[in-house]
Structure 1
Amino acid sequence: MDETYLVVRCHGLSTRLLPGNVLEALASARAVQDLVSILTPTEYGRKIVGLERLDARTLEGAFKQVLAERFRYVVRLAPENLEGFLKAYARRLEVGNLSRLLRGKYSAAPPGEIRTWLTPLEGLSGLDYEALSEAESLEKALELLEGTPYEGLEGYVEPCRRYGSILPLEYALKGLYYEDLLRHAERLPPESRGAALALIGLEVDLANVFTSLAPLVYGYSEDLTAQLLIPFHRRAPGLKLMEAVKARTHQAALEALAPYSRIAEHILAGRDDLAEVERLKLLRGEAMDAMHGAPIELPYVLGYLSLCELECRDLSFIAVAVEHGVNPKGYLSI
């Protein structure tokens, strides 16, 4: 198989993504059963029909299973020159699982409960989730990651204890993922490399914006925050990020992060929810641009996978909001 075949298949697969009017209808639902009725004729129906229990958690599990299947299919179709990169890209699902698992170990959740939070990733992950969930402590779980792409995280346990948050570890985990992905991206064919790095660069920029404001928002030390920054950028270069890290006022931080000032404003105002919405909208716009700008090349595939992720996130958010009687409109990526 070659790149053209993969892209053509993704053109077909993209027609299964839910159109905006369906997401709007889902966001207007009054009950979880209404969501099921709307989703049953779609690709999600085969995962939802037959569920023993219908609630936000089981629906989210179904959404994530579809997401994993979509990623798995693309990786399976990857030609030899793209296989390593797409496998590295797909590890974001493994990172999501591992992040939820480590969050559970940090909060001392029961192993059985932790496993219910994880998405089955056959063919996309080689981690032993049962052993990790059964580990006696967060530290023991991290020791089990020796020899995997996630080794070396033990040093972030102390900052987690010091600041009373799992965020330092999650930031570090995300950094390991992107550093590995960027190494693979540098080996892509020249005609695809630039657009792929632009997509990845936006994701890295947005992650770094959140991290760089940790001293002002959470009181993290400058040294720890600098260590957590991912060494790559698109519109937020390292010098500007360090200005934000060292900023003593909100205004100074906003000036340093000017390309992403709307997101930074929300974070500094304590509205991470609104910052997340801005982030999602930027990612959706970038994905659409990539698909339109490179309709027969790798960036189309990455744009498609990004839209799959955003759809899963939006559906999960809608399910939780509807279950709790909250209006999800205004908090979606569309």
Structure 2
Amino acid sequence: MSVTRYAYVYARIRARLSDLLGNKDIRALVDARKEDFLAILMDSPYRASMAKENLTEVDARVIERALKQELIHQYLMVIRSTDAAVRDFMIELFRRFEVMNVKAIIRVKAVGMATGTTESVLLFPVEPFFRDYRDILVEAGSLEDAIKRFGEPYRGVLEDSFQDYKKEKGNGKRLLDLENALDRDLFGAIWDKKEHLGRADRETVEKVIGTELDIANLMTMLRCKEEGIAGAEMERYFMPYSYALDLDAVQDAMSADNIPSAIQLLPDSPYKSVLSDAIHHYEEQKSLVTFELALQRYFLRWIRKVMSGYPIDIGTVLGYLYLKEVEIRNLCTIAVCKENELPAEETLKLVMM
């Protein structure tokens, strides 16, 4: 897509970039008293989204629903402001939220969680581009029943991996098989779509999405280590796409005895530095969330680097959408913390800045 053809979507995004909350704004929300949180949020660019809900006190679920709708609106704005190969690529990227919905449904069905209404689980409103699967929450009586009710490609993808799920049931690997199958299908399609972009755009996508997949593969490795999955078996869970992570060079890490040792055996890279710095927090908390947050903060810095100077290309478009997603994730996290009256110092550990 030429600079001229990017002009329209670029102008719309530049106008919205100034509305993104800065670190000072996020910190103000973190530090706010519970009774002041809504007022501060109402005085932000999210005023219109919040006003529709008529909230009088912090309700994290309602806030999350409104913010998810806002995020979807931003993706739809980009899709409707682009054309040709870029639009096709953005639609495929937007499908990430449909995949998130499918994952959310199979998780609750896998654990037998009661879902009496279509609002039992908050899903992204991905219509009209993709199907509304909320009816499956109520109508499907089991995970296998839910899988049969999904449309393609999800039904076929999940049915193919469901046999592995059934064979391994009870040893903790369960959802990894199903979720990995969904991710492979999604990112394979995204990777294929970027081949139709111009050279410069294609290279930018490989940087951004490739880095996201590097991080996903690292987290998969750590999750497998935590669940006791052997190195040889672990490889089948990796995405076959990357940017800076050489999957052939992580064999020693995959065979390590424990998670800290696996990190130390990774090849030298910014990823290794980020994970190494987080080891002491992991040893205190024994939670992979420590590493996930550390890698996501690194990705946030990477996105800002890609956007440096706001080039008139797909990098600024992708950067804006990723920054918006992080911002909304932060706001949802803060809302949950406020609702549960967590202290500011604990909340701050969970947000990305």
Superposed pair shares fold, TM > 0.5 = yes
Distance across 1 between alignment mates of 2:53 and 2:298:
34
Q: Is the 8 A contact 2:275 2:294 kept in 1?
A: yes
Name the SS of the counterpart of 2:156 in structure 1: coil
Instruction: Establish whether residue 118 from structure 1 lines up as the match of residue 138 from structure 2.
Output: no
Instruction: Establish whether residue 263 from structure 1 lines up as the match of residue 257 from structure 2.
Output: no
Alignment correspondent of 1:314? 330
Name the SS of the counterpart of 1:200 in structure 2: helix
Alignment correspondent of 1:108? 112
Q: Summarize deviations over 1:202-255 as a string: whole Å, max 9, x none.
A: 110111001112342111244542111000112211212443323335425432
**TM-score of the two chains, using structure 2 as the length reference:** 0.86
Instruction: Establish whether residue 177 from structure 1 lines up as the match of residue 181 from structure 2.
Output: no
Q: Is the 8 A contact 2:253 2:261 kept in 1?
A: no
Distance across 1 between alignment mates of 2:146 and 2:288:
29
Q: Summarize deviations over 1:254-276 as a string: whole Å, max 9, x none.
A: 32254222336549743323212
Q: Is the 8 A contact 1:95 1:173 kept in 2?
A: yes
Q: Is the 8 A contact 2:157 2:182 kept in 1?
A: no
Distance across 2 between alignment mates of 1:65 and 1:164:
32
Alignment correspondent of 2:9? 6
Distance across 1 between alignment mates of 2:171 and 2:99:
24
Q: Summarize deviations over 1:268-295 as a string: whole Å, max 9, x none.
A: 7433232122122112112211211551
Instruction: Establish whether residue 219 from structure 1 lines up as the match of residue 228 from structure 2.
Output: yes
Distance across 2 between alignment mates of 1:9 and 1:151:
38
Per the alignment, do residues 149 and 8 of structure 1 end up closer, same or farther by CA in structure 2, a change over 3 Å counting?
Answer: farther
**TM-score of the two chains, using structure 1 as the length reference:** 0.90
Residues 12-31 of structure 1: pairs in structure 2 closer than 5 A: 12-31=15-34
Distance across 1 between alignment mates of 2:139 and 2:119:
10
Compute the displacement of 1:305 (Å): 0.4
Q: Pick the aligned partner of 2:239 from 212, 230, 234.
A: 230
Q: Pick the aligned partner of 2:348 from 313, 329, 333.
A: 329
What is the letter of the counterpart of residue 274 of structure 1?
Answer: T
Name the SS of the counterpart of 1:234 in structure 2: coil
What is the letter of the counterpart of residue 191 of structure 1?
Answer: A
Name the SS of the counterpart of 1:162 in structure 2: coil
The CA RMSD over aligned residues, in Å, is: 2.4
Distance across 2 between alignment mates of 1:85 and 1:290:
18
Q: Is the 8 A contact 1:209 1:241 kept in 2?
A: no
Per the alignment, do residues 288 and 160 of structure 1 end up closer, same or farther by CA in structure 2, a change over 3 Å counting?
Answer: farther
Alignment correspondent of 1:85? 89
Name the SS of the counterpart of 1:118 in structure 2: coil
Per the alignment, do residues 162 and 271 of structure 1 end up closer, same or farther by CA in structure 2, a change over 3 Å counting?
Answer: closer
Residues 119-268 of structure 1: pairs in structure 2 closer than 5 A: 119-131=124-136, 133-149=138-154, 151-154=156-159, 155-156=161-162, 157-158=165-166, 159=168, 161-163=170-172, 166-249=175-258, 250-256=260-266, 258-259=268-269, 260-261=271-272, 262-263=274-275, 266=279
Name the SS of the counterpart of 1:179 in structure 2: helix
Q: Is the 8 A contact 2:173 2:227 kept in 1?
A: no
Q: Is the 8 A contact 1:288 1:303 kept in 2?
A: yes
Per the alignment, do residues 280 and 101 of structure 1 end up closer, same or farther by CA in structure 2, a change over 3 Å counting?
Answer: same
Unaligned ranges ≥5, structure 2:
none
